[in-house]
Each structure stands twice: as structure tokens, then as C-alpha cells.
Amino acid sequence: MNIKIRKRSLTIETTYHEGGPVAQTPLKLAAACAVIENPYAGRYEPDLMPFMAELRSLGTLLAQELVDTLGKENIEVYSKAAIVGVDGEMEHGAVWHEAGGWAMRSLLGEPKAIVPASKAVAHCGYRLMVPLHYIHAAYVRSHFNSMEIGIQDAPRPKEILFALLMGTGGRVHSRLGGLLKEQVSVHDGQR
């Protein structure tokens, strides 16, 4: 099986303020998406492991695009997402957990925090809100954020839209306490 890409997109959001003072360094969030043919659309396939393994190359392609866009040294948050066309099933999107997460961890120097995710089986043009977390510790509250992904003409019924997301920091004007990134000390991916 070969991964057949119909289209790709790169979205960058830059936030200067949220109604308060202008941030000294604007927050950049970016999403790299690829729309591919779903090789299992319309049928049940008991073994999805070969598909998951093959998707590592797509994960690397999208992760590298984000690293090149934002700069590896600037990346503080990440996430992944999949929108499966209606002829597919949720598990066709779940293959991205390993493939997309592995690719980002590999390029970012093996950060330990869980890579959050969102997925859906949906119609063409569906938009999905995707959670973002700090790459080194899951409990850094200032970095809990989200970004919307989607492409107007995707996924078609026999396609899957896969996305990786990265960003340069926490929320602009974050002031709700909790663990700060400077306080991360355990390095277990949690605290």
C-alpha cells in the first residue's frame, strides 16, 4: 500500500493579545494537514498495523514542516488529529496516535509528555478543535490551549485528513496558576 496524498495545508495563527497588553513575544500555533486516500474505506480490515507503520513517513513529513516553520528551539506545545471520511471508521483515524506522535517526538528530541489528540468520523468540510499541551509535562496549565483544523473540501467519504500541530508557548495572558514550565522537575512527562 502507498500513501496517496490529495492535498496538504499549513495554517499559522499568530496571537498578539487577548484584550490585554500586547505580548512581548506573540504566540504562534501551526497545523500541518494532509488529506490522503483511505485504503480501508467501505470495508472492515482486521489488521491496521501495516497502515500505522506506513504512516510514520507522513508523520515525519508534517512534523518536519512544523519544525521548519516554527523553529525546533521555539516549540513548547504539540498535538495531533484525524478526521475520517464517512466511509471509514474511527480506528482508521486512531492509527495516527502512534504514527503522528512518534514523528513529533523523534524530531523534537523525545519529549515525555503525552501528545493530546482529537479525532472524528465526519463529512467533508468538518472542523475539529484540537487540544494542545506542553511537550515536557502534561500538567503545565498555562499551556493548555486549542486550535481548529480542517480543510473546506476534505475529507471526502473515502479519505482521511491527518494533522499535526505545534506552537511556541502557552496562552497569551495566562494567569491561572498551577505548575509553570519553569517548575517542571520530575521529567516523567507529568510534572
CATH number (domain holding residue 42): 3.30.1330.110
Torsion angles phi and psi, residue 16, rounded to 5: -95, -35
- Please state, for a pLDDT cut of 70, what percent of the chain lies above it: 99
Whether 125 is covered by a domain: the verdict is yes
Whether 188 is covered by a domain: the verdict is no
What local confidence, expressed as pLDDT, does residue 1 receive?
Answer: 65
Contacting residues for 6 by C-beta, under 8 A, at least 6 apart: 35, 36, 37, 154, 159
**For the whole model, what pTM was predicted?**
0.96
Whether 137 is covered by a domain: the verdict is yes
Whether 95 is covered by a domain: the verdict is yes
Whether 79 is covered by a domain: the verdict is yes
Closest CA to 97 of 121, 119, 75, 76: 119
Torsion angles phi and psi, residue 174, rounded to 5: -60, 130
Whether 189 is covered by a domain: the verdict is no
List, for residues 45-104, the tens digit of each pLDDT value.
999 999 999 999 999 999 999 999 999 999 999 999 999 999 999 999 999 999 999 999
Into how many domains does the chain fold? 1
Cα–Cα distance measured from residue 36 to residue 106, given in angstroms and rounded to the nearest whole number: 23
**Domain range holding 117?**
5-183
DSSP-H helix ranges across 96-138: 96-107
List, for residues 94-132, the tens digit of each pLDDT value.
999 999 999 999 999 999 999 999 999 999 999 999 999
Whether 135 is covered by a domain: the verdict is yes
Whether 154 is covered by a domain: the verdict is yes
What local confidence, expressed as pLDDT, does residue 12 receive?
Answer: 98
